[in-house]
Amino acid sequence: MVKKGKQEKTPKPNFTEDELLLRLKKHYPEPWIDLKFETPFQLLVVTILAAQETDKKVNEISPRFFKIFPDPYSIASATLEEIEECIKSINYYRRKAKLLKDCCKVLVEKFNGEVPDNIDDLVKLPGVGRKTASVILVNAFNKPAIVVDTHVKRVSKRLGLTNSDNPEKIERDLANFFSKENWVYISKALVLFGRYICTARKPKCKECHLSDICPYENKNL
């Protein structure tokens, strides 16, 4: 758990959790994740590949990748060149090939080839930070976690759910605002909402169901 700093201010949104959820569910009654996967292992791999790359591009190469590398053992025992060959159309493929190999070695050696379902063990894996760990918990295990990616950061600030740029503080502010039972939903929905509606440039405020409660000064109305 992240410790609370002395200087931190707690944001006070002028709406309730229920008011926000009601509006967000109009956009995303059943939120999804754009990355395609079938198992926790596959989600771990595609999430590592998706850093600074589009989900679309990762989805294009992942079926072939998983035919060649169906489990952590096959990646751990492959050469770097074999892994690179399979992902060479992906940004930073050399670095990611090494991360995948290192990560799968740890999975094999310490976790019996199984992706752990808790954040403390997930963040021990090379290439897995708190954000990736939360993505895996929420989407592969349906376990409560708060995903703070670039979209969630932006949306949270615009809505006044946080006044910080620090991912750990943002995570704490969101965890304080939303009940734990809603963390899975909110983690999925805020990513989509930021990606497709409350976009970095020209947010779609005219079609946004949250515009009546959103305090953002530069709304695109």
Q: Which of 45, 145, 159, 186 binds ligand SF4 (CB under 6 A)?
A: 159
Q: What is the CA radius of gyration of the chain?
A: 19
Per the CB < 8 A criterion, the answer to whether 154 and 218 are in contact is no
Number of residues that bind ligand SF4 (CB under 6 A): 13
- Nearest Cα neighbor of 149 from 134, 137, 139 is 134
Contacts of 172 (CB under 8 A, 6+ apart): 2, 4
- Please tell me the distance from the alpha carbon of residue 145 to that of residue 38, in angstroms, as a whole number: 20
Determine the straight-line distance between the first and last CA of the chain, rounded to whole angstroms: 39
- Please tell me the distance from the alpha carbon of residue 113 to that of residue 99, in angstroms, as a whole number: 16
Q: Which of 101, 153, 158, 172 binds ligand SF4 (CB under 6 A)?
A: 158
**Nearest CB to ligand SF4, comparing residues 67 and 202:** 202
Residue 22 beta carbon to ligand SF4: minimum distance, rounded to whole angstroms: 14
Q: Which of 125, 145, 147, 214 binds ligand SF4 (CB under 6 A)?
A: 214
Per the CB < 8 A criterion, the answer to whether 75 and 83 are in contact is yes
Q: Has 149 been annotated as catalytic?
A: yes
Tokens of 24: 């967000």
Asked if 94 interacts with ligand SF4 (CB under 6 A), we say no
Asked if 26 interacts with ligand SF4 (CB under 6 A), we say no
* Region for 163 from its dihedrals, namely left if φ exceeds 0, alpha if ψ lies in -120 to 50, beta otherwise: alpha
Asked if 76 interacts with ligand SF4 (CB under 6 A), we say no
Helix orientation angle between 167-177 and 130-140, rounded to the nearest 10 degrees: 40
**Nearest CB to ligand SF4, comparing residues 147 and 190:** 190
Residue 7 beta carbon to ligand SF4: minimum distance, rounded to whole angstroms: 27
Q: Has 4 been annotated as catalytic?
A: no
Residue 139 beta carbon to ligand SF4: minimum distance, rounded to whole angstroms: 23
Asked if 219 interacts with ligand SF4 (CB under 6 A), we say yes
Binding mask 193-212 for ligand SF4 (x = CB under 6 A): ----xx----xxx--x-xx-
Q: Which residues are catalytic?
A: 131, 149
* Site of interaction with ligand SF4 (CB under 6 A): 158-159, 197-198, 203-205, 208, 210-211, 214, 216, 219
